[in-house]
């Protein structure tokens, strides 16, 4: 149903909107949050449209190849338009911050290693399309949008740290992108609203860690590589067991 398609595109960002407004650096940054919200909703609509409207599918298959490619192109277009605005948080680059290289490499390796737990999930039939898709599409599409663009906008507009008394809970932008990433994967509209708590926890943690790696390394290179490898291995291990 069309209403489900729209609600899945809008609700995740509406749920985190109060938190973003609460953590603004100052009132002048409200326009950045509006921009963030509009970009996210447009991205979700573009990403999901080929699944909803079959006539839009340029590449046929069991996976949303067309939506992912459109998402990548949309992300690159938005990045090109906002490149100057995103400075000093321009993460769409190969160069890594040498000071953080060791710890970000280890974090990326640990993310890939976490995929080995999927061996204990239920087995799957060997499917080459699935393997190629997971090795190529999700990391490019999601890291460009979530880490290079949306995270950059939050780093500009939100406070540098969340503090409760003397306790620091870290960077709010990293936390919020983790939450949004989890909601996108776990919240679904069918005949009823469905929320998969296990999926949310796993994707929230993944989104948080990839956001942290991006901020520390000042690049989405490691998140893209580890994201695709993690997705690939999660599927491959279930196919060969």
Structure confidence by residue, pLDDT tens digits, 154-178: 999 999 988 777 777 789 999 999 9
What residue numbers bound the domain in which 183 lies?
Answer: 2-240
Question: Would you put residue 158 in left (φ > 0), alpha (ψ -120 to 50) or beta?
Answer: beta
Question: Would you put residue 75 in left (φ > 0), alpha (ψ -120 to 50) or beta?
Answer: alpha
Domain count across the chain:
1
CA distances 170 to 123, 155, 158, 176, Å, are: 38, 12, 12, 11
Q: Supply the pTM of this predicted model.
A: 0.95
Structure confidence by residue, pLDDT tens digits, 210-237: 999 999 999 999 999 999 999 999 999 9
Structure confidence by residue, pLDDT tens digits, 100-127: 999 999 999 999 999 999 999 999 999 9
Q: How far is CA 210 from the centre of its chain?
A: 8
- Give residues with Cβ within 8 angstroms of 162, minimum separation 6: 23, 168, 169, 170, 171, 172, 175
* Half-sphere exposure (Cβ direction) of 214: Cα atoms closer than 13 Å: 36
DSSP string, 89-133: ----SS---GGGHHHHHHHHHHHHHHGGGGGGS------HHHHHH
Instruction: Tell me the C-alpha distance between 94 and 227, whole Å.
Output: 16
**What are the residue ranges of helices labelled H in the chain?**
2-22, 30-52, 65-86, 101-114, 128-142, 151-157, 172-186, 197-217, 221-240
Mean pLDDT of 77-93: 95
Which pLDDT score, from 0 to 100, does residue 1 have?
58
Residue 59 has pLDDT above 90, yes or no: yes
């Amino acid at each position: 149903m069309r209403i489900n398609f729209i609600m899945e595109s809008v609700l995740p960002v509406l749920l985190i909107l109060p938190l973003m407004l609460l953590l603004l650096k100052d009132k002048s940054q409200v326009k950045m949050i509006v921009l963030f919200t509009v970009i996210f909703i447009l991205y979700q609509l573009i990403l999901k449209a080929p699944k909803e409207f079959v006539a839009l599918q340029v590449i046929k298959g069991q996976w949303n190849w067309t939506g992912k490619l459109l998402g990548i192109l949309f992300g690159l277009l938005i990045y090109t338009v906002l490149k100057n605005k995103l400075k000093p948080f321009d993460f769409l680059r190969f160069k890594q911050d040498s000071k953080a290289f060791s710890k970000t490499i280890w974090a990326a390796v640990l993310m890939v290693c976490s995929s080995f737990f999927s061996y204990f999930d239920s087995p799957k039939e060997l499917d080459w399309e699935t393997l190629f898709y997971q090795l190529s599409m999700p990391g490019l599409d999601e890291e460009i949008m979530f880490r290079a663009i949306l995270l950059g906008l939050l780093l500009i507009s939100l406070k540098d740290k969340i503090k409760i008394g003397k306790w620091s809970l870290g960077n709010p932008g990293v936390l919020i992108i983790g939450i949004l990433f989890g909601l996108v994967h776990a919240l679904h509209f069918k005949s009823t609203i469905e929320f998969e708590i296990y999926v949310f926890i796993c994707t929230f943690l993944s989104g948080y860690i990839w956001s942290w790696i991006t901020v520390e390394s000042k690049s989405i290179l490691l998140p893209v590589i580890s994201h695709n490898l993690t997705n690939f291995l999660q599927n491959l291990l279930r196919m060969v067991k």
